[in-house]
Amino acid sequence: MMFEGLPTPCYVVDEGRIRHNLEILQQLEKDTGCHVLLAQKAFSMYSLYPMIGRYISGTTASGLYEARLGYEEMGKENHVFAPAYKEKDMEELVQICDHVIFNSFAQYEKYQHYFLQQECTASAGIRVNPECSTQEGHEIYDPCGSGSRLGVVKSEFPDQLPEGIEGLHFHTLCEQNADDLITTWHAFEEKFGSYLKQVKWLNLGGGHHITRADYQLDELKKLICEIRRKYNVRVYLEPGEAIALNAGYLVTEVMDIVHNGMDILILDASAACHMPDVLEMPYRPPLKDGYLPGEKPHTCRLSSMTCLAGDVIGDYSFAQKKQVGDRLVFEDMAIYSMVKNNTFNGMPLPGIAVLREDGDVEMIKEFGYEDFKGRLS
């Protein structure tokens, strides 16, 4: 069985699949002249940054620590956006970032003096809220929802951008196709198009599922080329999931089976600790050789070793009855997994491994008690 010798739980990232995704993104850059940046909030496996950096332009961060990681481990273009910045963080960010994007004009004015200094090489931008929501459900991930704190709405914009602002940024999508980006672009252009004559660059944010099989890639290319032609600005995209989409697994072992109306498998992996989006979004993660309840002869519930009653991954059916000691492999587990995990209940963090293109599996990192204890005092 694949991954038989690995300790569990363990994330396994497929190097070949990562490269496949990167080749698509690299071609997008070549065909349109855009700059593609890895959104580290989705995928921060920095041992693969040297490979990723050979295909795309760089990284984008959500704060100082991610910015430092991108600067140290990839060393290419390095951008950052945060809803607010601390003074001590800004002092370092302007040294290691190419773009610093602000969430309000008040925040920019607080730090404007950095960007007006002749020796400053960082470019400042403002995030806007186009007030155009294209998402269905998943309100927790909708930056354009009612009352959103993310981005400046048109009514709060001055006629003239403050001195030193060189770019605009919007991020409105989540796992979406090019048609939703086009809808958002039209809303953005109607409200903010005139400001593009005052700036040098436009960042279209993330949430673009560019490497998905049904993605409307030609439409995206047309849009990027049209923006560059019409407004003469550099165009940036910040995909996170697209870089590691369908490129990871979470290997787990069945520790026990209890019965309460149905068989309930106790796994050494946890939704709450190791794949929190299952509960936050929520969604049902794909499982190798797992099917919808009732689709196969043996239906059971997959749960965890934590004491949280709701730490349930979902109900699945299997062709063969599962036994203690069996291994299960969850799919599409490279994204928003290891970047969001935690040690609630003292749960061990999963190891991290790479499935190399020659078929070998290389263990990159294992975690233990000291990693749990080190976060406490």
Final residue of a structural domain among 244, 264, 283: 244
- Cis bond upstream, residue 282 (ω within 30): yes
* Ramachandran angles phi, psi of 15, nearest 5°: -60, -40
Q: What are the pLDDT digits (tens) for 360-375? A: 999 999 999 999 999 9
Residue 43: C-alpha distances to residues 2, 197, 330, 356 (Å): 23, 34, 17, 18
Question: Which pLDDT score is estimated for 262?
Answer: 97
Residues 87 and 140 in one domain: yes
Question: Which pLDDT score is estimated for 139?
Answer: 79
Residues 88 and 223 in one domain: yes
Residues 207 and 285 in one domain: no
Residues 47 and 117 in one domain: yes
Q: What band does 55 get if pLDDT is binned at 50, 70 and 90? A: very high
Residues 146 and 51 in one domain: yes
Q: What are the pLDDT digits (tens) for 184-231? A: 999 999 999 999 999 999 999 999 999 999 999 999 999 999 999 999
Residues 218 and 295 in one domain: no
Final residue of a structural domain among 218, 244, 270: 244
Question: Which pLDDT score is estimated for 142?
Answer: 87
| Contact predicate 251/8, CB 8 Å | yes
Residue 347 within any structural domain of the chain = yes
Instruction: Determine how β-strand 165-169 pairs with β-strand 123-127.
Output: parallel
Question: Which pLDDT score is estimated for 140?
Answer: 84
pLDDT score of 47 more than 70: yes
Euclidean distance between CA atoms 41 and 361, whole angstroms: 25
Residues 299 and 320 in one domain: yes
Residue 327 within any structural domain of the chain = yes
Question: Which pLDDT score is estimated for 137?
Answer: 72
Euclidean distance between CA atoms 128 and 131, whole angstroms: 9
Question: Which pLDDT score is estimated for 79?
Answer: 98
Residues 65 and 164 in one domain: yes
Residue 28 within any structural domain of the chain = no
Euclidean distance between CA atoms 61 and 50, whole angstroms: 17
Domain span including residue 88? 33-244
- DSSP-assigned letter for residue 5: T
Side-chain-facing half-sphere of 126: CA atoms under 13 Å: 28
- The domain that holds 294 is classified in CATH as 2.40.37.10
Determine which helix (DSSP H) or strand (DSSP E) holds 73, and give its type and residue range: helix 64-73
Per the structure, how many domains does the chain have?
Answer: 2
Q: Integer distance in angstroms from the first to the last C-alpha of the chain?
A: 41
Q: What are the pLDDT digits (tens) for 99-139? A: 999 999 999 999 999 999 999 999 999 999 999 989 877 77
Final residue of a structural domain among 191, 211, 244: 244
Question: Which pLDDT score is estimated for 133?
Answer: 87
- 142: tokens are 């909708």
Determine the residue type at 50. P
- Mean local confidence (pLDDT), 136-147: 82
Residue 84 within any structural domain of the chain = yes
Residue 26 within any structural domain of the chain = no
| Contact predicate 301/312, CB 8 Å | yes
pLDDT score of 145 more than 90: no
Residues 120 and 212 in one domain: yes
Residues 278 and 229 in one domain: no
pTM, rounded to two decimals: 0.95
Residue 9 within any structural domain of the chain = no
Residues 206 and 284 in one domain: no
